[in-house]
Structure 1
């Protein structure tokens, strides 16, 4: 029987993962379902008889690599996340697969099969290394699409087109994502999760600064330190001020070149 640990803060994502797990394996035990970095750190610092971890990356209280960088993990990890910028971190932290949400059953099944092969003691030789690199390339190619220069927005009177160059930021609010333009108008996006929007945005121009906000580089007016590990972003559109999350600050500073 395989002992499985799930680290995921979204209930629908956990239900999907467990449904797929039940389809690929008949002998397993989910030893815990954890929603926070703090709870995961506490368990992993004491419990070592885990066969496989399914792990999201951005949780409600931080980034899971805060754990994996500090605690030695002795089992493989399958990452399932909406973010594609942590690929290399994942493979450096015992990651054997990187499922980009929303992932299919086929992708999940392939990840499980890889776990079984490794669990069966196949030699970790050059061929295995090449296989991991090929998976990395495949995921990168899957998330590589043409960037949009406009979005089609539905209104009560029809459909209009919002130019990407005019979008100051995207904001999520109670399950709805809004695009805020440079005239401070709010446009309801047809997409309901950020990953569906971000696949069409040039990452050189847009950056997700926290769980609910993504900013356009051209509209950043200035930055100010909020505290030791957090930055305030001033957008030159109606004096809008946003805050970069603690887990995103280092990457954001690198993105803006400071």
Structure 2
């Protein structure tokens, strides 16, 4: 099994290498990546490994940002000293979330879980694709959002729209409150019911219940008006306008 380690602390990386050799001498460590920038460059030109073992906090940011931007979809075991990222971690292809100091028994347990999943989902790329599909195809009834120190369960039915701004997804509820959510709009589409939510453009996913009306715009585009305040005008392109109107007609 070919493994990539994402860890900026040399001591922690060496301890992890030692534990991996004890857990499975056949494991081959391909590379140790110390930063988000280095990881982005490396994954851009290399094939996916069989497994990534990653710390959350790297030298220049969070490893979670890497998984949002690379196309590699191999399984991940997180090894970190921080427990507040566990929900965000499982929005990736995480199979385990281990808190430091990592012990041999915990690492063996995580590797055993990975092997069991391989057997269930067949072998090779098929099981990886199946794992990713299973994780992201599940519709959510509730999303956990953060507001300072509080973790708030937000019913999906209460989301008026999702808005992408400066690389961050903001969820606005029917009362006009907004919350940051660690995701992408592409991932949000997979979590939300397509009968209730529709991607209007690159920045907005809208809830049918929050739509007041749609207006014809120049060049056969549409402007979508909502019942709640929005940060900017929602414009549906000419290419997507017909689909959007059909969805609006048949959605619940």
Q: Normalized against structure 2, the TM-score is what?
A: 0.48
Q: Normalized against structure 1, the TM-score is what?
A: 0.47
Higher helix share: 2
